Structure 1
Amino acid sequence: MATSGKSVFLIGPGFIGREVLDLLLQENYAVTTLTRREAYATELQQSGAKTVLGSLDDQDIIVNQTLISDIVIHTATADHLPSVEGVIAGIDQRASQGKQTIFIHTSGTSLLSDDAKGEYKSDKIFYDDKPQDIDALPDSASHRLIDLAIIRARKRLGNSAKMVIMIPPLIYGANPKYKRLSIQLPTLSRFAMKHGYAGYVGKGESVWSEIHVVDLARGYLTLLHWLEQTDASKILENPYFFCENGQEFAWRDAVAQVAKALHAAGRIASPEPKPIPESDFDDLFGKYTAWVVGSNSRSRANRLRALGWEPKEKGLMASLVEDEVPILLEETGEFNGYASVAASGGS
C-alpha cells in the first residue's frame, strides 16, 4: 500500500517497535527512530529508517523530533512520563503552528490487573468500546499516571491532535530475524532454568488475555490508518484500544507448557510446575511479582475488530514451545530477575 510519505517518529524500536517499523517501511512511511546505540542505529538505517541517537530522558531531542513529524508512535515503555511529556510539548508547538499530529502511545493491560495473586480466575472483563469502565480505574493503577497525562492533553488540544492509547495484554511471539522476547513468560522461563523447576504464583489460576507481537504490530497500522482517515472530533470520543487474539491463558497452564519444553530439553528435572515461594520473588519482579505474573487481566479488542483487524498468528502455547523456549535455551549469563521497571513495555 502506498502512502503520502508522511513522517513518523518511532520511539522505542525494540520488541514491539521493530515489528511496527518493518510494517511502516513496507508502506513507504518516512520513519525516524530514537535509539541509544550506534550499532543498532546502523542496523535500523540499513532497513530504511533514519535514526536519532538519544535516550528517553533526552527531552529536547524528543520535542524537536516531534516538531518535524506528522505521526508519533511510542512503543518503548508504558511507564516513562518525561518522554511522553516531550511528545506532548512538541504536539503543543505544532498545534500553535496550525499542524495536526497523530500520536499513538503504548500502555498495557497491567492497568486492569487485580490483587488475585494467582488464587482465582476473575469474572471481570474490560471492553475498549466501554471507556467509562477504564476511566473508573484508580489513578494509582499501573500505567495510569502516563495515560492520564495523554487524556488531559487530548482535552486541552481538542481537534488540534489525534491522540490514542494502545493497551496490549500479555505479548508473546518471536520474529526469527530479531530473536527479541517479551517480559513475563520469558522471565518465568529463565527463573525455571536457574531454580530447576517451573513455577507460578499462588494457585496459578488467574488469567490474562494475550496477543502475538506480529498481530499487535498490524494492530498499530490498522489504528494508524483509521486515525489518518477519521475526523479528530470522532477520535476524541474514546482514547482506548485493546489488542487481543480472542484467547486467554491461566498462568499455571502457560508455565506448565514451559515446564514440558524445558524438561524435554534436559534443563529441569520435572515437567510438573509448582508454586513459587515468596522468598524467591526477588528473582522475578521483586515486590511486584504477584501482580505482574499472578493477577487477572481480561480485555476485549472490540474497536480494532470493528476496523477490520483480526489475529492471524499462532497461539501462545505453540509459540512458547516452537519459538520462544528455543531462543531462551541459547541464552548465556547469570539471571537475577527482571531488571527494568516491572510491568512495562511487554505487558
Structure 2
Amino acid sequence: MPSVLLLGATGLIGSRLAIDLKKAYPEWPLTVLLRNTNVDEWFKVTAKVDRIVHGTISDTELVRSLSKEHDIVINSVTSFDGDFVKTIIAGMEERPEHSKGTLIHISGTGNFIDHGKSGSFNPNSKVWNDDNEDDIRKIVPTMFNGPTDVPVLEAGELGKIVTYIVCFAMTYGSNIGPVPNLGVAYNILTSNAKQLGFAPYVGDGSAKASLLHVGDGVPFVTKIVGIAGTEKPSGSAYSRYYILHGERVAWKELSSALAKVLHAKGVVASPEPKSVPSAEAGQGEIGSLIAANMLVKGDRAVRLGFKATHPSVLVQMQEDLGAHDF
C-alpha cells in the first residue's frame, strides 16, 4: 500500500484533507510535516495520522528526504513558491525508475484572470477549460500560480515522477483544523479590506470571480490520491490538470457580503463596499485580481465526478468569518 506525505496539513484545505484521507484509505500510512508542536494531539486523535514529523518547509533537506521517502506527496502548502516545489520534485526524482513517486499539487485559479482594469464583466474574456490541454500549456511562470504549476507540469512531462495538479478556485468554507486558518482567498480579501478601511470593488463591480467551497474540493483531491495509489497514469501531465469551481460571483456582490461581515466585527467603518479605480483597490496583485474576470470551466474534473453541492460564498461568508478574531 502506498505511503502518503501531506504538506500543509494545518491549512484550510490540508486539515480537512488529512481527515478525509484516513477515512477513505485507513490502511495507507499518512505522514504530516508540522511546524506547530502544539497540534500533535489533534492530528493523532481527530485526523488519525500515522506519523508526525516536526520541521518547517524552509528546511530543504528535510522536505527533500521526506519527498523521496513517500510514494505520494501532496503539496497543499503553497501555489506561489516555486523553489519549495522544486525541492519536493528534486527529492522525488531521486527514487528509482521502478518506484516512481507521484506529486499531487494543489494550485489556484489566479492564473486565469483576464487582467482587465475596468471591473466590468467582459463577455469576450477567455474561459479556461481543464479539458483543453492547449489551455493548460499556456500557463507560464509569470502567472499568479505559474511559479509552481510550470515546474510540476515540466516534471510530469519529463517522466521521472508522475504529477497531478488540482486547481482550486478562490476557496471559502469554515476551518475545521486545530489552528485558525482562513485560507488564501479570505486572508487576501480581509487583510486588504482591513488595510484600506473598506471593502473595495472596481468600476461597476460586474467582473466575475470563480469560487469553490473547500468541502467540495477536498473529496476530489482524495479521489485523485486513490487513483494515484491504485492506477497507472495515462495521458500527458497536461491531461492530469483539474480545475475545480462551484460558482461565479460578481466582485460587487462579493465585496458587499464582505463589507457587512467585517463591519459587524468592527474591522471596516461601513457595511457598504466602495467602488475605486483598480490602482486603489489594493497593493500589488490584489488590485489586479479585484478588477479582473476569472472565468474557468472544469469539464475534465466534472467527468471524473466533481460536483459542487455546498452553499454559495454569499451565504457561507457570515459563518466562515464570524468566529474569526481579526
Give the Cα–Cα distance (whole angstroms) in 1 for the partners of residues 265 and 64 of structure 2. 48
User: Cα–Cα, structure 1 residues 51 and 117, in superposed 2: closer, same or farther, change >3 Å?
Assistant: farther
What residue is the counterpart of 1:31 in the other structure? 30
State the match for 1:135 in structure 2: 137
Given the superposition, is the C-alpha separation of residues 187 and 155 from structure 1 closer, same or farther in structure 2, using an over 3 Å criterion?
closer
TM-score, normalising length from structure 1?
Answer: 0.82
| 1:90 counterpart residue number | 91
Contact 2:16–2:176 (CA<8 Å) still a contact in 1? no
Q: Contact between 2:204 and 2:275, CA under 8 Å: does it hold in 1?
A: yes
> TM-score, normalised to structure 2's length?
0.87
Deviation per residue, 1:262-321 (Å, 9 max, x gap) = 45667655433212467865xx5x222212333221111112211122122211111112
Write out aligned runs for 1:121-132 (5 A): 121-122=121-122, 123-132=125-134
Are 2:3 and 1:7 equivalent residues in the alignment?
A: yes
Contact 2:256 2:272 survives alignment (8 Å)? yes
Shift of 1:236: 4.0
Q: In the alignment, is residue 317 of structure 1 matched against residue 319 of structure 2?
A: no
* Aligned residue in 2 for 1:145: 147
CA distance in 1, matches of 2:263, 2:147: 41
1:125-174 residue CA offsets vs partner (Å, 9 max, x unmatched): 111010202312444222213222122212222xx532111111110111
How far, CA to CA, are the matches of 2:111 and 2:275 in structure 1?
A: 25
In structure 2, relative to structure 1, the CA distance for the partners of 1:149 and 1:263 (3 Å cut) is closer
Amino acid at match of 1:78: S
1:201 CA displacement: 3.3
Mapped partners of 2:167, 2:198: distance in 1? 32
Stretches of 4+ moved more than 4 A in 1? 176-179, 190-196, 262-270, 276-281
AA of the residue aligned to 1:77: T
1:16 to 2:18 alignment: no
**CA distance in structure 2 between the aligned counterparts of 1:41 and 1:289, rounded to whole angstroms:** 34
Any gaps of 5 or more consecutive residues in structure 2?
A: none
8 Å contact kept, 1:118–1:205: no
The residue identity in structure 2 corresponding to 1:210 is L
Going from structure 1 to structure 2, the CA distance change for 1:230 and 1:249 (only over 3 Å counts) comes to same
Deviations 1:222-256, CA, capped at 9 Å, x for gaps:
222233344324354613110111x1011111111
* Aligned counterparts, 1:173-322, within 5 A: 173-176=173-176, 178=178, 179-189=180-190, 191-192=192-193, 197-234=198-235, 236=237, 238-245=239-246, 247-263=247-263, 270-276=270-276, 284=282, 286-321=283-318
Contact 1:114-1:291 at 8 Å conserved across structures? no
Deviation at 1:77, TM superposition (A): 0.6
Q: Is the 8 A contact 1:117 1:206 kept in 2?
A: no
How far apart in 1 are the matches of 2:32 and 2:157?
A: 28
How many aligned residue pairs are there?
Answer: 318
SS at match of 2:219: helix
- Matched residues in 2 for 1:41 and 1:257: separation? 35
CA–CA distance in 2 between the matches of 1:192 and 1:65?
Answer: 38
1:142 to 1:318, Cα distance in 2 relative to 1, 3 A: same
How far off its partner does 1:53 sit? 1.6
User: Matched residues in 1 for 2:207 and 2:68: separation?
Assistant: 43
Which amino acid in 2 is paired with 1:211? L
Q: Secondary structure at the match of 1:293?
A: helix
Aligned equivalents of 1:144, 1:303: Cα separation in 2: 20
Specify the SS of the correspondent of 2:323. Answer: helix
Contact 1:73 1:105 in 2 (8 A): yes
Distance in 1 (alpha carbons) for counterparts of 2:59 and 2:191: 32
Q: What code does the residue aligned with 1:102 have?
A: T
Instruction: Please tell me whether the aligned partners of residues 207 and 249 of structure 1 are also in contact (alpha carbons under 8 angstroms).
Output: yes
Question: Does the 8 A contact of 2:12 with 2:175 survive in 1?
Answer: no
Q: Does structure 1 retain, via aligned residues, the 8 Å contact 2:139–2:150?
A: no
Cα offset, 1:115, TM superposition: 1.7
Coordinate RMSD, CA, aligned: 2.5
Q: Distance in 2 between matches of 1:52 and 1:118?
A: 47
- Aligned-pair identity in percent equals 24
Residues of 2 paired with 1:177 and 1:12: CA distance?
Answer: 11
- The answer to whether the 8 Å contact 1:167/1:241 transfers is yes
The separation in 2 between residues aligned to 1:280 and 1:110, in whole angstroms, is: 19
**Distance of 2:268 and 2:57 partners within structure 1:** 38
CA distance in 1, matches of 2:293, 2:89: 32
Residue 79 of structure 2 is matched in structure 1 by 78
